[in-house]
Chain A
Amino acid sequence: MALLSVSLVILGIVFFLMAVVLQQGWMIQRELWAVQRSLLGNGTNSQPVEDGVQPGASR
């Protein structure tokens, strides 16, 4: 039971760390879209960049 509890705590930490890494990745992606949009300046959609998918975007 102790081993199970420790394993679950470790798993919780692992999932938390993965979430933080994923969130950072998401924020970097959003910044990249912003840069891409300002450099290319194309498209007719003037929405805030964080709400939109930019040309060539892929994750």
Chain B
Amino acid sequence: MSIRLERSVVWIVVLALVLYLPGVWWGAPHATGPDRIKAWAVDDETPLGPLAELSNIAHPRPDRNLGYPLLYSFLTSAAYMPYLGYLYLTGRFRAPSGDYPFGLGDPVGTLWVLTVLAHLLTVLLSLGVILGAYRAAQAYWDRRTAIWSALFVMTAYPMFYYARTGNVDVPMLCFLAVGYAILALILAQGVTIRRVALLGLSVGLALATKESALGVVIGMAIAALAAPRADGLARYDWRNARWWRTWGAGILAALVALGAGSGFFIEPSRYLAHLAFLTGRVEAAPGAGGTIPLAFPLTMQGHLEYLRQIVAYLVDILTLPGLVLAVLGLADALRRRPREGLLALPGLTYLIFIFITLRTGQMRYLLPAAFVLAIFAGRAVARGWSAGAPAVRAITMATALVAIGLSVLRGVDLTYAMLRDSRWAAAAWLANRMPNGGRVEYFGASQKLPPLAANVASARSADYRGLFFEHDTSEAKVAEIVASWEANHPDFILVMPDHTSRPGLEYDASVPPGLYRALLEGSLPYHLAATFKTPSLLSWVRRPALDYPSVNPPIRIFAPAQVQVRGTY
């Protein structure tokens, strides 16, 4: 299993870096206070989450994040270590601490650098996703299919976002992609102990990054079990000792990788608590004990709506022409050689897995299935290209270019929105008007806020309980909030959406709708002073919404009625 340094591989890597690197710094916090240390992206644990998880192994804190196994924390911390060691040796990180400023001489600069380092690690792992697709298609089919498959995976819409953040989705997909490439090799050339052990290693690492990889792993295992031996050994089944040695090696490699990567070998109780958290059996952890909104009920109507949602997300990820090509590629493969369908099995088992277990709508959850479909889209283009009929060739190429071209343009539009995020303009506007020692109040998650200066105090106007809990938005709450403003006299009030916002609303779940309406109508002591949202660069490409309104969110700043400023930026 190796990636030969072919010219096409070099070009694919260069193209991916050109597409993904701009905006890799998006979301890094401006850590001028203890409530400003998290990245903007939802579920992006950088910069300090990985280090906190490592620290929690030695000194557990009650607010530790049980949401994920620990492999991503290990990888990110390893990427941090040379820099943190350098800071330590040069006296800028002398007394590490769990509280702001964490013993750092320059917490603003250091946390910015750490975040960008973590995001660069994700870019690196995204190259693994793309090259995994390339190698899988090359191993099973040919180089032309490999190039097209890599292009479809590279330009899949959410990759432009998740390849630049500290979410675990791309790291998990990287390990799955490597495993998928090994599976393709096994299906093409047969089973060997080494291949099965490497497959086990990669799926173990994927499971140690995020457990939803299990849906893909089930399909991989079934497909690999159906593959013949590389040496053509007759009577190769469970009655044969070599069968047990081969699959024993694979299972052992997977268990070792999972045990080491997830942290089970280091702190078994934490991993078991994490599994309990996943299955909703933990009440005392951040984000635990609430109800998951927007879940699709286990009814016929719920099933149909969930199915429709899944297809809609696949269209968003691959574009409609891309998804059509994928279906055609799969149908063609099944028609020519039904065994080629084994390569699609991991995608199918993943879809079944999330259909049964997840029941919530998130585009990123569809990435593993889209990865498999993208490879079959690549296969369809390669087959169409080599078709005898010129019309088939022309239609295939036109469809592929529309699909990839539209995806790239959507990626460019998203990148532009990240580079010109509304928070920067809002931060500059605030810095220019904020009195020394001023006070800003806001609603919802603090990580979404625009950068604020160190001498600006920030506080929530209302209790915030996160995504899984109901918020008090009653008239009494409105009166309480207005009374607190009259007592505290904030200089500015910020309202912007976050991951708790209901679809289409430009404020988070902790904002009482009546209060928001009153603020816009100007019937309160505060009125709308400024609105920030960078217009789309390419509005006609109809870029799909991301899972959360994290990028370039609409920011509304309200000021005391006597302050005469008003503008849209």
Contact = CB atoms under 8 A, between A and B. Distances in A.
B174 interface: no
Given A42-B432, A45-B434, A45-B455, A15 B108 contact: no
A53 B428 contact: yes
Contact of B83 (A15, A47, A50, A59): A15
Nearest to A22: B113
Given A23-B109, A44-B434, A57 B427 contact: yes
Interface in B435-471: 435-436, 438, 450-456
B83 A19 contact: yes
Given A45-B455, A51-B455, A57-B428, A19 B435 contact: no
Nearest to B84: A19
Contact of B116 (A12, A13, A22): A22
The interface size bin for chain B is 35 or more
Contacts of A35: none
A58 interface: yes
Interface string A18-59: 111011001100100000000000111111101111111111
Interface of B: 25, 28, 30, 32, 78-83, 86, 106, 108-110, 112-113, 116-117, 120-121, 419-420, 424, 427-428, 430-436, 438, 450-456
Contacts of A13: 82
B520 to A, nearest CB: 26
Given A45-B431, A47-B436, A16 B424 contact: no
Given A19-B82, A57-B431, A59-B25, 12 more contacts: A12-B78, A15-B120, A19-B113, A20-B86, A23-B109, A43-B432, A51-B454, A52-B453, A53-B430, A54-B428, A55-B432, A58-B424
B117 A22 contact: yes
Interface residues of A, number: 30
A42 B429 CA distance: 11
11 contacts: A15-B80, A19-B82, A19-B117, A20-B83, A22-B112, A23-B110, A44-B435, A45-B435, A53-B430, A53-B453, A56-B428
A52 B431 contact: yes
A20 B454 CA distance: 24
A18 B80 CA distance: 11
A45 B453 contact: yes
Contacts of A54: 428, 431
A53 B109 contact: no
- The 10 lowest CB-CB distance pairs between A and B, nearest first, are A16-B82, A19-B83, A51-B454, A52-B453, A53-B427, A53-B451, A55-B428, A26-B109, A47-B455, A22-B113
A51 B32 contact: yes
B30 to A, nearest CB: 7
Among A12, A26, A53: residue with most chain B CB under 10 A = A53
